[in-house]
Homo-oligomer: A and B are copies of this chain.
Amino acid sequence: MIRVQTEDFDPGAEIEQLRHRNKGQAGAVVSFIGLVRDLNAGDTVTQMTLEHYPGMTEKALSGIELEANDRWELTASIIIHRVGPLVPDDNIVFVAVASQHRQQAFRACEFMIDTLKTNAPFWKQETLPDSTRWVEPAET
């Protein structure tokens, strides 16, 4: 399941739904939440705006989810990504998977967020106290 939305999401509620989609089958649920940090490259960030490419975004996220489900045995998975204006400590992205085995769950969840970060058409613009700037891809 994938969602792109301006409104916030509730990780607890999403995990609850995910684990009940295949009741009794999943032994492991791994989730990742990406948050807006109040500092980036040494500068105070007061706001962040997420731009995306409507249409292509949904295709890219669906493709990532499909590939993860091909590569690992998952009983359920979800990607949620917010767009629009956000402030520090806000949720940006949520990726969660359920699997019979924890190694598969960890691998799949990390694959999904890693691939999203390099392949999905989102762009972050940071508002600093005196200016705005587009975020450059992280070296990680």
Contact = CB atoms under 8 A, between A and B. Distances in A.
Given A12-B12, A12-B13, A15-B11, A103 B140 contact: yes
Interface stretch (A22-30, A53-61, A78-86): A22-30
A113 B118 CA distance: 28
A29 B34 CA distance: 7
A33 interface: yes
Interface string A28-52: 1111111111110000000000000
Given A19-B35, A24-B38, A24-B89, 9 more contacts: A12-B12, A24-B37, A27-B36, A27-B37, A28-B33, A29-B33, A29-B35, A32-B106, A34-B102
Interface of A: 10-13, 15-16, 19-20, 23-39, 88-89, 100-103, 105-106, 109-110, 113, 140
